[in-house]
Structure 1
Amino acid sequence: MLFRKKKVEPVLKPERPKEVAAINETGAVIAALADPILVLDNQRVVKHANKAALNLFGRVLIDKNIVQCLRQPNVIDAVEKVFASKKDWIGEAKFPAPVERHLSIHIALIGNGEGVVLTVRDTTLVKRTEEMHSDFVANVSHELRSPLSALMGFIETLQGPAQDDREARERFLNIMIQEANRMARLIDDLLSLSRVQIQEHVAPDDAVNVTVVLQNITDILSLKAMDRNMKLNLNVPNNQAYWVQGDSDQITQVFQNLIDNAIKYGKPDTSVDIAIRTLDRLPDRNVPGVAVDVRDHGEGINEKHIPRLTERFYRIDKARSRTMGGTGLGLAIVKHIIARHRGRLHVESKLGKGTIFSVSLPAKNN
């Protein structure tokens, strides 16, 4: 008996929806691109985000609606316009937190409306450079006017009425040296502030031993403290190493400035107390941290001045600040360095009882 062989029909795989295929193919391409890129489906849900986008907007993007990811009304509106008009959109967006960023965004349609691609370019550095140039010129012209006028006046006097007056010449030359040094310090601080602000949108990632930084600074400034019969007390629990994520030179600049100010504005025959402590989490951030408190026993600061302490050229007592060699930029530099490190500066003060400057920085394992 013969059996007829049954014909086996080929099994056909279900065809993928076109929009899924298009979006998946797009995702394979964007993974290696340097600029941040997001791919949305036609439900406005993020389906792909390359490494640069995850670093810029946060790790939790995939399968989230674009509204939850960006929170930028103008960009959300632009996405809707691209879907509706099927035309590309190019525009600017400013993200205020954790530090201000300026982004150029290009939105283009995928296929016939299966989704859109957002290509992002970080223009923060360009914007900051432009702002720094204009601010630098404005600040220099304003702050240098006074010492330059003084120098010109002394020079004219020495060339004229005091030309043969030896006593006046020596007195004027000493003042001229002080004014010239003041201008040099001012220019150095302005350049330092400009460099910090230009870098502010890029967080440093090195491991810095804050214990060693503070030990070095207290060694350097101990002689200055002794001149005022003051003592620097550094309290490091168990002499252990406290590591933070940051830039060693900039962190040194922060604490050198704060401890130097504490010596200047503390009362003679008192101490400057520096203490390190750990934080389970940073204020406003769910990451562990390290805090450093710098406390002086000076006259204290009136509460109304505290919010403005980190403004450029803000001085509570202008005459005293200039006598001590201050430029009015020290705490502004401190603020921007801490912002670059994604940390926090807190000031607490009581009149007659001194001031505490507390710096919180993200911890890092060595």
Structure 2
Amino acid sequence: MASAVILTGLVVVYEIPVWVGLLCFTATLAATLSIPRNSASRRLKINAQRRMRRMWPGTDMKVTVDALPTPCFVADARGITRYVNARAMEIYPGAKPGDPLSFSLRAPSLLEAFDRACSNGTAERINWIEKVPTETWLEAYIAPIHEPGPQEGQTSSRKPAFVLVVVQDQTENRRLERMRTDFVANASHELRTPLASLTGFVETLQGPARDDSEARDRFLSIMLDQAGRMRRLIDDILSLSRIELRAHVRPQTSVDLCEIVRHTNDALGPLARDMKMTIRLDLPETPVMISGDRDELIQVTENLVENALKYGSTGEVVDVSLTSKQMGEGEIAWELAVRDYGEGIAPEHLPRLTERFYRVDVDSSRAMKGTGLGLAIVKHILTRHRARLDVESAPGKGATFKVIISG
């Protein structure tokens, strides 16, 4: 603009031809445009672009994080959430970019590990427990993500551009570990008791009761009962182990559920007569064909009916019925119900009935020669068959065990 004003003045004052002035103006404009831009301005623009890249992760990072099956958060070094993958949105519905990471992940140990990762530039792995709404074990892996350094293969020594936080739920693994530990402890305890009894009676027979025929007969009878208890316990432990090994393989053999129930009725008929009880069957007239393992399903029905006979003996009758259920969209399931009319089960015991070695009444269970593993075996067999067990009971009103299995 200044050049244009000067040239205009020269044309007017010194009467320079207009075409000469236009030629000079054009040359001046061309020279001005050819001058490089201010390097400081260019640096400001580049720095602004870099700041934007540091503030929000790129598309490649987002795609990679979305591909992970676990909850993932991408935050900056200040702890502000910059991206949340789809899995994290499912588990932490309130999480959103722009909020502090502490809004979603409130564990103090995790936030401390986050600060250490930012300060030291090294990855951190921490574990913590959340008590609400249920006891949950969680593990977080916190990894700083640095910008590339001036040379290939190097990273910047400053704070990381982003920090990746990966959260994994370890609850199922911890529960399985605890269950395994409890199982070993309980099994050793259950075996130790009859073994101690056998040892004590043998020592007595070898010592003070060596020549006492009456005591010998009584002790040998008790020893036989204790040996039988150990045998039943070992058989149930081995049976449970075999079922667990095949838990992921669903049976493909076609079996008749009605025939299985009738077989159980024949097998337990003598026990029912000895206990002066009656097993009443209510079965369809036509065969009920399902995919299953015959021996395992017989084990399920025998266990449920035998429990009903033993623990519902005050009711004198056990009802066993098999009915169809509509599950929706044309899918049909069968419900095998075993009901007794005994004393019933208190509500606080119902959720734990299928736990290993859990007994509602320890003395009564041992008197009935129970091992505490029967319903645990039933649960694992039904899990293999993609079936479920429902229990309905109340004190004084008996109990009903229902097996729902797909046709």
Give your verdict on TM over 0.5: yes
Task: Give the Cα separation in 2 of the matches to 1:211 and 1:355.
Answer: 30
The residue aligned with 1:347 is 392
The residue aligned with 1:323 is 367
TM-score between the two structures when normalised by the length of structure 2: 0.56
**Match 1:224 to one of 245, 262, 267:** 267
The residue aligned with 1:107 is 142
The residue aligned with 2:110 is 78
Task: Give the Cα separation in 2 of the matches to 1:289 and 1:83.
Answer: 56
The residue aligned with 2:72 is 38
The residue aligned with 2:34 is none
Alignment of 1:259-278 (within 5 A): 259-267=305-313, 270-278=317-325
Secondary structure of 1:296's counterpart equals: strand
TM-score between the two structures when normalised by the length of structure 1: 0.61
Work out whether 1:160 is the aligned partner of 2:207: yes
Secondary structure of 2:107's counterpart equals: helix
Shift in alpha-carbon separation, 1:120–1:206, aligned structure 2, 3 A: farther
Greater fraction helix: 2
Secondary structure of 1:73's counterpart equals: coil
Shift in alpha-carbon separation, 1:31–1:304, aligned structure 2, 3 A: closer
What stretches of structure 2 of length at least 5 have no aligned partner?
1-48, 147-158
Opposite residue 181 of structure 1, the aligned amino acid is G
The residue aligned with 1:303 is 346
Task: Give the Cα separation in 1 of the matches to 2:334 and 2:249.
Answer: 17
Task: Give the Cα separation in 1 of the matches to 2:91 and 2:232.
Answer: 45
Secondary structure of 2:321's counterpart equals: strand
Opposite residue 106 of structure 2, the aligned amino acid is P
Task: Give the Cα separation in 2 of the matches to 1:101 and 1:238.
Answer: 48
Alignment of 1:1-366 (within 5 A): 18=53, 22-29=57-64, 36=70, 38-40=72-74, 44=81, 47-48=84-85, 65=96, 73-74=106-107, 78=110, 82=114, 86-87=118-119, 88-94=123-129, 102-111=137-146, 115-120=162-167, 123=170, 127-128=174-175, 130-132=177-179, 134-164=181-211, 168-189=215-236, 212=255, 214-215=257-258, 217-227=260-270, 228-229=272-273, 230-231=278-279, 233=281, 235=283, 256-267=302-313, 270-278=317-325, 292=335, 294-301=337-344, 303=346, 306-307=349-350, 310=353, 313-331=357-375, 345-351=390-396, 353-359=397-403
Aligned residues: 326
1:85-126 alpha-carbon deviations (Å, 9 max, x no partner) = 725442124578999764432022444776542335565676
Assess if the C-alpha contact under 8 Å between 1:132 and 1:194 holds in 2.
no
Secondary structure of 2:223's counterpart equals: helix
1 or 2 for the larger relative contact order (CA 8 Å, sep ≥6)?
1
1:118-157 alpha-carbon deviations (Å, 9 max, x no partner) = 3355656764565346424542454344322321222023
Assess if the C-alpha contact under 8 Å between 2:258 and 2:284 holds in 1.
no
Assess if the C-alpha contact under 8 Å between 1:105 and 1:118 holds in 2.
yes
Shift in alpha-carbon separation, 1:21–1:238, aligned structure 2, 3 A: farther
Task: Give the Cα separation in 2 of the matches to 1:231 and 1:332.
Answer: 24
User: Please, what is the CA RMSD of the aligned residues?
Assistant: 5.4
Shift in alpha-carbon separation, 1:342–1:220, aligned structure 2, 3 A: closer
Assess if the C-alpha contact under 8 Å between 2:282 and 2:320 holds in 1.
yes
Shift in alpha-carbon separation, 1:256–1:40, aligned structure 2, 3 A: farther
